C-alpha cells in the first residue's frame, strides 16, 4: 500500500521510517526535494496550491496524509475524489484558525481560555475591557512555536501589540495562570477504534517545545483529557493521530490548541511506548488494528533547536536514542533533531536527562 505525505519535514520522515517495517511505500510532496522526508523516500516538488500535481500524487496513493498544519485546506479537499485524505480537511480547517478552534472547544464543553475575535483596534480595546488583563493577542492563522503572538500586560501594551500584529484577523485570549503544560496524543482509526497515550508533561523555551516527560501518572487528568479528546474525535468522525495541548490551572485542564497530525510532544513514543504515534497514525488511516499505547518505562524527549550535540557524546548517555533530522542548514529556532531517554524509574530518567542537557 502506498501512502502519500504532503509535507516532507521531520514528521513525514518519521512516518515513513515507521511504515517501512509494515511493508508500506511512501511518496512525499513538498516545495523542495531537499527535505528530511525526501532523504528517505521519493518526492515530488511543487507548490502546495498546484492542484494538478497534487491530484496526480493522490491518484498514485491508497491514502493521503500530511505532516504540516499549514497545507491549504482548499488543496486537500479535491484530493478526496482520488484517495481518502486523513485526517479530514474539516479538522485541519478548524485547527488552522484559532478562533474556530477555541469556538469548537467551547461548543463541545471543553474548558478553554476566554477569547474574542479582533479585526479592528477598537475590537482589541473592547476585548481587553471584557476579558481583562493580562492577555495574549494572536494571529488567527499561521502561528506556531510561539510566532504571531504579543503579550498584553497593561493597557499601555495595546498600542505596541496592535502595531506588531494589526492588519490581519486576530484573537485576544485571557492569560491562563497555569502550573504545568500537558499534552494528550490519541488515535482513531477509519474503523472507529480509539486509543490514547499516557499524558505527557511539556516544557517550552521561547515558545518552542524543549522537553517532554511521560507518562504523567494522574488518573483524574488522564480521564479528563481523554473525555475532551473523544468529544473532538466523535465530532469529526476523525481518522488519524490527534494531539491536544492543555494548561493545568488549579488542578483542571484548559485546552490551548489541537494539532490534527503526529506531534512533537509524541516523539517519546518511538522508543518509550509499545507502538509509536507514527505507526499508529499509519494503522489508523489504513484501517489496521491500532497498537498498544502503553509506556515501556519512564521517557523524556529533548528537542535540539539551533544546533545538535556532538554525536559521540550524546550516544554515550545510557538509554539514549538519537534522532538527527539531517537538515542541511542549522539556524536559531530550527528543530534539528531530538533524543529520547527511557529508564526504569523517574529518578533514572532525570539523571540521564541531566547528563544529556549538559551536552547542549
Residue 39: inside a domain: yes
pLDDT at 242 over 80: yes
Name the domain count of the chain. Answer: 3
* Same domain, residue pair 199 and 345: yes
Three cell numbers, residue 320? 539514549
* Same domain, residue pair 169 and 186: no
Residue 101: inside a domain: no
pLDDT at 145 over 90: no
In the DSSP assignment, the letter for residue 140 is S
Write out pLDDT tens, residues 58-84: 999 999 999 999 999 999 999 999 999
- The confidence score (pLDDT) of residue 146 equals 64
> Distance between CA atoms of 158 and 136, rounded to whole angstroms?
10
Residue where a domain stops, chosen among 142, 174, 206: 174
In the DSSP assignment, the letter for residue 199 is P
pLDDT at 147 over 80: no
* Same domain, residue pair 223 and 311: yes
- The confidence score (pLDDT) of residue 319 equals 86
Write out pLDDT tens, residues 280-326: 999 999 999 999 999 999 999 999 999 999 999 999 998 899 999 99
> Distance between CA atoms of 239 and 234, rounded to whole angstroms?
10
CATH at 50: 3.40.50.20
* Same domain, residue pair 223 and 347: yes
Query: Which backbone phi and psi does 243 adopt, to 5 degrees?
Result: -120, 140
Residue where a domain stops, chosen among 39, 67, 85: 85
pTM of the model: 0.96
Asked if 48 and 71 count as a contact pair (C-beta separation under 8 A), the reply is: yes
Which residues on adjacent β-strands are paired with residue 85? 64
* Same domain, residue pair 158 and 195: no
> Distance between CA atoms of 219 and 199, rounded to whole angstroms?
10
Q: Residue 97, Cβ neighbours under 10 Å: how many?
A: 18
Residue 90: inside a domain: no
Q: How confident is the model at residue 11 (pLDDT cuts 50, 70, 90)?
A: very high
Asked if 297 and 217 count as a contact pair (C-beta separation under 8 A), the reply is: no
Residue 130: inside a domain: yes
Write out pLDDT tens, residues 102-124: 999 999 999 999 999 999 999 99
Residue 200: inside a domain: yes
- The confidence score (pLDDT) of residue 144 equals 64
Write out pLDDT tens, residues 207-240: 899 999 999 999 999 999 999 999 999 999 999 9
Provide the 3-class DSSP secondary structure of residue 238: coil
> Distance between CA atoms of 58 and 88, rounded to whole angstroms?
15
Query: Which backbone phi and psi does 152 adopt, to 5 degrees?
Result: -120, 105
> Distance between CA atoms of 66 and 50, rounded to whole angstroms?
15
* Same domain, residue pair 203 and 343: yes
- The b-or-e profile of 221-254 (16+ CB within 10 A means b, else e) is bbebbbebbbebbeebebbbbbbbbbbbeeeebb
Residue 212: inside a domain: yes
CATH at 141: 3.30.1490.20
pLDDT at 27 over 90: yes
Mean pLDDT of the chain: 96
* Same domain, residue pair 236 and 342: yes
* Same domain, residue pair 201 and 74: no
pLDDT at 129 over 80: yes
Residue 300: inside a domain: yes
CATH at 231: 3.30.470.20
* Same domain, residue pair 169 and 78: no
* Same domain, residue pair 287 and 196: yes
What ranges make up the beta strands (E) of the chain? 2-6, 25-30, 43-45, 63-66, 115-118, 135-139, 149-152, 170-174, 180-188, 194-196, 200-205, 208-214, 240-249, 252-259, 298-305, 320-324, 335-343
The boundaries of the domain holding residue 329 are 180-357
For the residues 83-104, what does the mean pLDDT come to?
A: 98
- The confidence score (pLDDT) of residue 265 equals 98
For the residues 131-154, what does the mean pLDDT come to?
A: 89
Write out pLDDT tens, residues 319-350: 899 999 999 899 999 999 999 999 999 999 99
> Distance between CA atoms of 289 and 283, rounded to whole angstroms?
6
Residue 74: inside a domain: yes
In the DSSP assignment, the letter for residue 18 is H
* Same domain, residue pair 265 and 325: yes
Nearest C-alpha neighbor of 191 from the set 287, 86, 84: 287
* Same domain, residue pair 187 and 46: no
For the residues 172-200, what does the mean pLDDT come to?
A: 98
Q: Residue 166, Cβ neighbours under 10 Å: how many?
A: 16
Amino acid at each position: 500500500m502506498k501512502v502519500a505525505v504532503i509535507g516532507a519535514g521531520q514528521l513525514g520522515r518519521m512516518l515513513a521510517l515507521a511504515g517501512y517495517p509494515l511493508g508500506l511505500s511512501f511518496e512525499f510532496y513538498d516545495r523542495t526535494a531537499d527535505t528530511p522526508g525526501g532523504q528517505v523516500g521519493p518526492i515530488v516538488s511543487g507548490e502546495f496550491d498546484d492542484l494538478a500535481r497534487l491530484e496526480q500524487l493522490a491518484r498514485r496513493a491508497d491514502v493521503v496524509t500530511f505532516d504540516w498544519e499549514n497545507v491549504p485546506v482548499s488543496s486537500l479537499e479535491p484530493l478526496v475524489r482520488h484517495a481518502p485524505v486523513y485526517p479530514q480537511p474539516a479538522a485541519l480547517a478548524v485547527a488552522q484558525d484559532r478562533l474556530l478552534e477555541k469556538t469548537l472547544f467551547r461548543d463541545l464543553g471543553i474548558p478553554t481560555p476566554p477569547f474574542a475575535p479582533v479585526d479592528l483596534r477598537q475590537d482589541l480595546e473592547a476585548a481587553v475591557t471584557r476579558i481583562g488583563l493580562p492577555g495574549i493577542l494572536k494571529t488567527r492563522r499561521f502561528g506556531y512555536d510561539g510566532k504571531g503572538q504579543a503579550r498584553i500586560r497593561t493597557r499601555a501594551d495595546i498600542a505596541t501589540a496592535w502595531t506588531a500584529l494589526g492588519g490581519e484577523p486576530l484573537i485576544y485570549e485571557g492569560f491562563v495562570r497555569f502550573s504545568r503544560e500537558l499534552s494528550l496524543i490519541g488515535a482513531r482509526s477509519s474503523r472507529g477504534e480509539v486509543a490514547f497515550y499516557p499524558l505527557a508533561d511539556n516544557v517550552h523555551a521561547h515558545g518552542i517545545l524543549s522537553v517532554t516527560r511521560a507518562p504523567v501518572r494522574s488518573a483524574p487528568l488522564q480521564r479528563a483529557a481523554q473525555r475532551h479528546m473523544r468529544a473532538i474525535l466523535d465530532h469529526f468522525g476523525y481518522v488519524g493521530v490527534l494531539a491536544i495541548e492543555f494548561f493545568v490551572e488549579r488542578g483542571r485542564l484548559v485546552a490551548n490548541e489541537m494539532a490534527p497530525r503526529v506531534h512533537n510532544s509524541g516523539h517519546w513514543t518511538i522508543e518509550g511506548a509499545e507502538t509509536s504515534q507514527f505507526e499508529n497514525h499509519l494503522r489508523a488511516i489504513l484501517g489496521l488494528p491500532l497498537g498498544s499505547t502503553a509506556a515501556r518505562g519512564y521517557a523524556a524527549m529533548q528537542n535540539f533547536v539551533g544546533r545538535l550535540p556532538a554525536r559521540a557524546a550524546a550516544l554515550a548517555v545510557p538509554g539514549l536514542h538519537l534522532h538527527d533530522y539531517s537538515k542541511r542548514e542549522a539556524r536559531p529556532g530550527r528543530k534539528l533533531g531530538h533524543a529520547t531517554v527511557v529508564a526504569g524509574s523517574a529518578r533514572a530518567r532525570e539523571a540521564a536527562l541531566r547528563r544529556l542537557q549538559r551536552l547542549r
